[in-house]
Structure 1
Amino acid sequence: MCLINLQFQQHPRYKLIVAANRDEFYGRPAAPAQFWEDAPGILAGRDLSQMGTWLGVNKSGRFAALTNYRDPEHMAASAKSRGELVTLFLAGQLSPEDYLRAIDDQEYAGFNLIAGDANGLYYYNNIQGEPVKVPPGTHGLSNHFLNTPWPKVERGKEKLDAYVSVNEQVELDRLFEILADAEQAPDELLPKTGVGLDLERALSPMFIKMPDYGTRSATVLLIDNTGLVTFAERSYDNGEFREDRKYEFQIS
């Protein structure tokens, strides 16, 4: 993922609301969201090159989502795929905090990971190296730290909060509309992450469309007070709509 917006334990109906975009090279193969044949309890899309995932939930309500940390010093190829961090949490039994503390930071390039469930979430960045409990409220994460005020993070938080704060029933299409915001940030607000001004501009919208890289899918996850999970994915080909998928189940 390259943008995760979420509201945690602040809505009268939903304990957890997630609206996230996955940005990736168009040529990297991926499977759409589904329950996995080799791990039937996991619902997620899948990176077919390394067989991990960027965001998922399981039937017991465990949730995890990952973004890369954008800094040339921490972007070197590593022995392990960061996508396995989400998979291993969803397939495991460790508490979120214990799981995050057990990660060997040196085995992965820079990453951010949110893990937990609708009753408790933790955030971890392997540059900082210490799990942090996510407080109730609206949060945003891109390719720096949690709630770093990059334009797309602030815009996503503001739009999500403005919508869910006045709507008891959250409509999936409305959240997908928010995630499709392709407005580029002004130069004076752009972060400086070492990739050059032209690329900073191209990466600044919530929805990215470049010649060979961009938003491949958008995901909305809702967990309500009864434990009902709604998981919806909208996928794109070269920035154009491809298909919608939706799943609902009760946490077991």
Structure 2
Amino acid sequence: MCLILLSWQIDPDYPLTIAANRDEFFQRPTLAADFWPEHPDILAGRDLEFGGSWLGISHKGRFAAVTNLREVASTGDRSRGNLVKDFLLSSQTSRQFADQLESQKTEFRPFNFIASDGDTLFYTNNIQAGWQALSPGNHAIGNIPLSDENAKTKKGGADMDSAMAENVSHEELLNMLRDEAPTIDTDNEINMALSCRFISLEGYGTRSSSIVRANKNGQWDFWEKHYASSESQKEGLQHFSFRVSSGA
């Protein structure tokens, strides 16, 4: 996942809205979002290489997502996708999970990680010490630390601000994620392509877009649009809807 745009606790009807693109090599084996047979509370896509996920939610009202950190040397061998899976399966609060993770962060490949138990939305990475509870507002997380900013995250954040102010639909959020305009001007064609919100390169690009909306009444909706990575594939959109389990 290379860009996560989210709105946290500023809309009285929808305390959490996520619009995110996953960028990955086309050859990497992946399952589209679904409830996991062995963990039916989890609704997420699945990375078949390591078994984790890039973004998911659960019947208990939990959310988690991860991005990689570009141009950062790996400090560990554990897949960052396991962070999403482990948080969604955990019964710990966001704060407890973040505190426990602190001593283990260097075991993972470079990551940005964001997760919520419904009460606290926290962010951490494994190139800086500590974690932070995010304040209400709109946030843009890319492949750089949240404390930094580049043209891609700046434009994404501005577009998310406009989208939430206009109370747009999930279709409009998906269209927003399909923006193919470069955010930098450079002679390096690869860097220019990577600066786009929707990436299209030979063998690598945006493979899916996800929209998550959590209603104040406990209703969660998850849309995933997956894109064709070869001529034999077709684009597809799926939608899941459920209410948070009682006692979550």
Q: Give the TM-score, by structure 2 length.
A: 0.92
Q: Which amino acid aligns with 2:119?
A: N
Matched to 2:144, the amino acid is: H
Which ranges of structure 2 fall in alignment gaps of 5 or more residues? none
Letter in 1 for 2:73: H
Name the amino acid aligned to 2:210.
T
1:74 aligns with 2:65: no
C-alpha contact (below 8 Å) 1:17/1:221 kept by paired residues: yes
The answer on 1:49 being equivalent to 2:49 is yes
SS at match of 2:212: strand
- CA-based RMSD of the aligned residues comes to 1.7
For 1:82-101, what aligned pairs fall within 5 Å after superposition? 82-101=80-99
Partner residue in 1 for 2:196: 205
Partner of 1:106: 106
Q: Provide the rounded CA distance (Å) in 2 between the counterparts of 1:118 and 1:183.
A: 34
Counterpart position of 2:152: 152
Structure 1 residue 233, shift from structure 2 partner: 0.2
SS in structure 2 of the partner of residue 247 of structure 1: strand
Counterpart-to-counterpart distance in 1, 2:77 and 2:50: 11
Aligned to 2:18: 18
Moved over 4 A (4+): none
Match in the other structure for 2:218: 227
CA distance in 2, matches of 1:75, 1:106: 9
Query: How far 1:202 sits from its partner (Å)?
Result: 1.7
In structure 2, do the counterparts of structure 1 residues 99 and 14 end up closer, same or farther at CA, with 3 Å as the change threshold? same
Which deviates the most, 28-37 or 113-122? Answer: 113-122
Identity rate, percent: 37
Q: CA deviation at 1:197?
A: 4.0
Query: What residue number does 1:8 align with?
Result: 8
The answer as to whether partners of 1:56 and 1:65 remain within 8 angstroms in 2 is: yes
Aligned-partner SS, 1:176:
helix
**Is the CA contact (8 Å cut-off) linking 1:97 and 1:131 kept in structure 2?**
no
Aligned to 1:242: 235
Task: For residue 179 of structure 2, give the secondary structure of its aligned residue in structure 1.
Answer: coil
Say yes or no: does 1:181 pair with 2:172.
Answer: no
Verify the 8 A CA contact 1:141 1:148 in the aligned structure 2: no
Instruction: Indicate conservation of the 8 Å contact 1:11/1:165, yes or no.
Output: no
Report the alpha carbon displacement of residue 235 of structure 1 after superposing the two structures with TM.
0.2
Q: 1:214 — aligned with what?
A: 205
Corresponding residue number in structure 2 for 1:193: none
Change (3 A) 1:147 1:182: farther
Query: Helix, strand or coil: the match of 2:200?
Result: coil
> Contact 2:21 / 2:210 at 8 angstroms: preserved in 1?
yes
Letter paired with 2:52: G
> Equivalent residue for 1:116?
116
Q: 3-state SS of the aligned residue for 2:227? A: strand
- Separation (CA, whole Å) in 2 of partners of 1:54 and 1:185: 24
Q: Give me the whole-angstrom Cα distance separating, in 2, the residues matched to 1:181 and 1:147.
A: 24
Cα deviations across residues 208-246 of structure 1 (Å, max 9, x unaligned)? 000110000000000011111001100012288611010
Name the residue aligned to 1:40: 40
CA distance in 1, matches of 2:99, 2:153: 26
- 1:81-138: CA deviation from partner (whole Å, max 9, x where unpaired): 1110110000011111221222212211210100113432000011112110110000
